[in-house]
């Protein structure tokens, strides 16, 4: 009993603490986020057109491994780990929203001097890419994004998957994330994300589990879940129509995390967009059907 009480003390205080609102004004316009060095890889020749890849929730740049080699023959690729994931820093703060991540990616783009960019974002990373696109449309940083590719992307207010919904609960979420093994979390996530579980690569589970066992990884995981939907999402949704950047939207038709109806809605809102629905594919097309994703990206880049 005493041990359980000691575990619950930080949960109670964390639950009661006031949180900085997750709004565009607080976290983009008036952002005070501290720059950090994000982990990344580069492929291909630097003088080729650059494609920047932003992974989804609970993932890392490792998720792009099936499509980087073919695309690197034509393009300069940069795959990055978001704050709190992969090998990037996992600081003990509350700056884990899509807005915070977008400000960090903006800083990375400036530091690296990346220009004429195509940004690929999927799931949570797609939400980050949408924020960057809106920042550009609002002229909040120099024009860098020429094309946008969104894969099963977080975009509208929706019911969260059951696992994430439970993790948002103060006590249940804290206990769940710390009592469940990294292997269990990784396996459940991939089972939920794939349409055909037989296609789940074993090394994906191994790598995901390994990243989850890194210091502060579970803290970052929980913080991201808690801040995953902005408080002003209803306002931001209405601004997608202002995005003029040529956009490719790729969606797995069997996605149960973010159903494809949101892809159709996003296609309608972003006028200069093309939508590709992949039959028999779930929430992670880049791993479940990489050849189709490569083909779609190459066609879009050549158009």
Would you identify the CATH topology of the domain 2-302? Rossmann fold (3.40.50)
What is the structure's pLDDT at 182? 86
In a 13 Å sphere around the CA of 20, the CA atoms on its Cβ side amount to: 17
Highest mean pLDDT among 16-30, 152-166, 264-278: 264-278
| pLDDT of residue 18 exceeding 60 | no
In 241-250, which positions are buried (b, 16+ CB within 10 angstroms) versus exposed (e)? Answer: eebebbbbbb
| pLDDT of residue 31 exceeding 70 | yes
Nearest-angstrom CA–CA distance, 148 and 130: 9
- Per residue in 231-254, pLDDT tens? 999 999 999 999 999 999 999 999
Among 24, 18, 272, 258, CA closest to 125: 258
Q: What is the mean pLDDT of the chain?
A: 90
Nearest-angstrom CA–CA distance, 184 and 188: 6
- Per residue in 246-281, pLDDT tens? 999 999 999 999 999 999 999 999 999 999 999 999
Going by pLDDT thresholds of 50, 70 and 90, the confidence category of residue 171 is: low
Provide the total of helices (H) and of strands (E) in the chain, helices listed first. Answer: 14, 7
Among 126, 256, 101, 129, CA closest to 190: 256
Predicted structure pTM score? 0.90
| pLDDT of residue 12 exceeding 90 | no
CB-CB contact of 135 with 106 (8 Å)? yes
| pLDDT of residue 219 exceeding 80 | yes
Tokens 């159709």: give the residue.
Answer: 264
Among 183, 181, 194, CA closest to 254: 194
What is the structure's pLDDT at 158? 86
What is the structure's pLDDT at 15? 43
Q: In the structure encoding, which two tokens stand for residue 11, read together?
A: 């949960």
Query: How do the domains of the chain map onto residue ranges?
Result: 2-302
């Amino acid at each position: 009993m005493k041990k359980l009480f000691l575990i619950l003390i930080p949960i109670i205080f964390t639950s009661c603490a006031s949180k900085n609102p997750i709004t565009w004004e607080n976290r983009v316009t008036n952002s005070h986020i501290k720059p950090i060095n994000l982990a990344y890889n580069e492929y291909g020749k630097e003088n080729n057109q650059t494609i920047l890849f932003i992974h989804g929730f609970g993932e890392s740049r490792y998720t792009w491994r099936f499509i980087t080699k073919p695309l690197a023959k034509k393009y300069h690729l940069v795959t990055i780990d978001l704050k709190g994931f992969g090998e990037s820093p996992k600081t003990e703060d509350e700056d884990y929203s899509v807005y915070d991540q977008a400000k960090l990616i903006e800083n990375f783009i400036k530091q690296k001097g990346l220009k004429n960019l195509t940004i690929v974002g999927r799931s949570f990373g797609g939400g980050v890419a949408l924020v960057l696109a809106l920042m550009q449309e609002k002229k909040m940083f120099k024009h860098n994004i020429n094309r946008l590719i969104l894969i099963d992307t977080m975009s509208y207010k929706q019911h969260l998957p059951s696992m994430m919904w439970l993790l948002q609960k103060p006590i249940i979420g804290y206990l769940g994330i710390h009592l469940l093994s990294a292997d269990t979390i990784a396996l459940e996530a991939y089972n939920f994300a794939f349409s055909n579980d037989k296609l789940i690569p074993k090394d994906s589970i191994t790598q995901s589990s390994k990243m989850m066992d890194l210091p502060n990884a579970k803290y970052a995981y929980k913080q991201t879940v808690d801040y995953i939907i902005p408080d002003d999402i209803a306002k931001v949704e209405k601004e997608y129509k202002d995005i003029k950047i040529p956009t490719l939207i790729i969606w797995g038709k069997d996605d149960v995390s973010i159903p494809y109806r949101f892809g159709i809605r996003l296609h309608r809102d972003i006028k200069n967009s093309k939508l590709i629905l992949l039959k028999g594919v779930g929430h992670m097309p880049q791993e479940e059907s990489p050849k189709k994703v490569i083909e779609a990206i190459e066609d879009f880049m050549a158009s």
